[in-house]
Structures are given as C-alpha cells and as structure tokens.
C-alpha cells in the first residue's frame, strides 16, 4: 500500500512544486532580455529612442506609453531601456498618486500580492535625497535582475509617484558606473 501511495503521490508533488511560483522576469507584458522589436516596430525604435541619461554609453530609453498592449492600473506612463541591439534591459512604469498615504497603501498591497504570486520576499529600503525621498520594496531574481516597486516623494513639486521597474543586472551595473564616475 505504501508503495502504491508513493507511486501516485510523488509525481503529483513534483508537478505541484514545479508549477507553483513562477520566476519573475517580465513586467507589463514585456520580458527582459527580449528584442524590443517583439513589442514595437524597428521603425518606431529608430525614430524615438533617446540616450539614457543615467549611463555613460550603450543604453537608450524609449517611451512606449502609446504602444504598450498590457496596460496596468498601477502605471500611466511606460518606458523601456534598450542596448545597441534593441535588447530590453529595463521596463518602467509610473503614475501620479493623490498623496503619500495612498501611494504607501498601494505599495504595501502590491508588494504582498507579488510576494504571494511569485513566492519571493521583498526587502524594504527607504532613503532621502536632496530633491526627493524613496520608499521601496525590491527583489533580485535568480539572474540578479532588480525588481522594485516604490513611492517617490518629490520635495519641491510635492508630486508623489508610484513607480514600478525591472532592470537587468547589466543595466544596473552601467547605472552604478555612471554615478561612481561623478558625471
């Protein structure tokens, strides 16, 4: 009887554990490391990409707000960052929030939902900068790609933004290099 139970239950447990909790690798229907031409035309890319201002070279930003197919209730503006070969290295979305309290409540709820869906544990980070303050939940996936959801409170304008982004490890390193260079 034990042998029969093991024969029946072992395959079920393997199927169950393999399908529960998928790897976090996409955002807004866009997947990191994919060619951006899968999502927008090469003509659109060529005519609209601009140099990324937080890297020294090799990365370009592209506003895809009007081209994105999967709209999110958590974002109204959408950008991707590409390398020279049009490979997606960053996916970004944001929206204005009424006030910091609403943004932080959304941040809490969204982080819990994502943790449950992807079986991850977010880390919390909060920091003040000269012009703004960040309240952030972040996670590194198995490729060391950086996923973050955060509220950004701008001091001068009093704007509050809910921001969601997903960066490849390479893009994160290029951004770090830019800031370390003192530019």
Is the CB of residue 94 less than 8 Å from the CB of residue 176? Answer: no
Instruction: Give residue-wise pLDDT tens across range 10-55.
Output: 333 322 233 344 678 899 999 999 999 999 999 999 999 999 999 9
Is the CB of residue 86 less than 8 Å from the CB of residue 45? Answer: yes
Categorize the per-residue pLDDT at 106 as very low, low, confident or very high, splitting at 50, 70 and 90: very high
User: What is the reported pLDDT for 183?
Assistant: 58
Instruction: Give residue-wise pLDDT tens across range 133-175.
Output: 999 999 999 999 999 999 999 999 999 999 999 999 999 999 9
Token couple for 113:
């939902």
Reported as type and span, the H/E element at residue 36 is none
Percent of the chain with pLDDT strictly greater than 90: 81
């Amino acid at each position: 009887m034990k042998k029969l139970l093991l024969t029946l239950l072992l395959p079920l447990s393997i199927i169950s554990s393999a399908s529960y909790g998928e790897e976090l690798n996409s955002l807004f229907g866009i997947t990191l490391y994919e060619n951006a031409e899968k999502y927008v035309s090469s003509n659109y890319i060529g005519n609209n990409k601009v140099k990324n201002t937080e890297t020294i070279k090799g990365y370009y930003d592209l506003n895809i707000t009007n081209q994105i197919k999967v709209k999110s209730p958590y974002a109204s503006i959408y950008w991707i960052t590409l390398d020279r070969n049009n490979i997606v290295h960053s996916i970004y979305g944001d929206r204005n929030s009424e006030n910091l309290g609403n943004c932080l409540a959304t941040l809490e709820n969204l982080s819990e939902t994502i943790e449950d869906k992807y079986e991850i544990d977010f880390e919390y980070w909060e920091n003040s900068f000269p012009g703004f303050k960040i309240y952030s939940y972040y996670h590194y996936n198995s490729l060391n790609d950086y996923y973050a959801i955060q509220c950004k409170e701008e001091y001068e304008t009093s704007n509050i933004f809910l921001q969601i982004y997903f960066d490849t490890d390479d893009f994160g390193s290029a951004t770090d290099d830019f800031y370390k260079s003192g530019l």
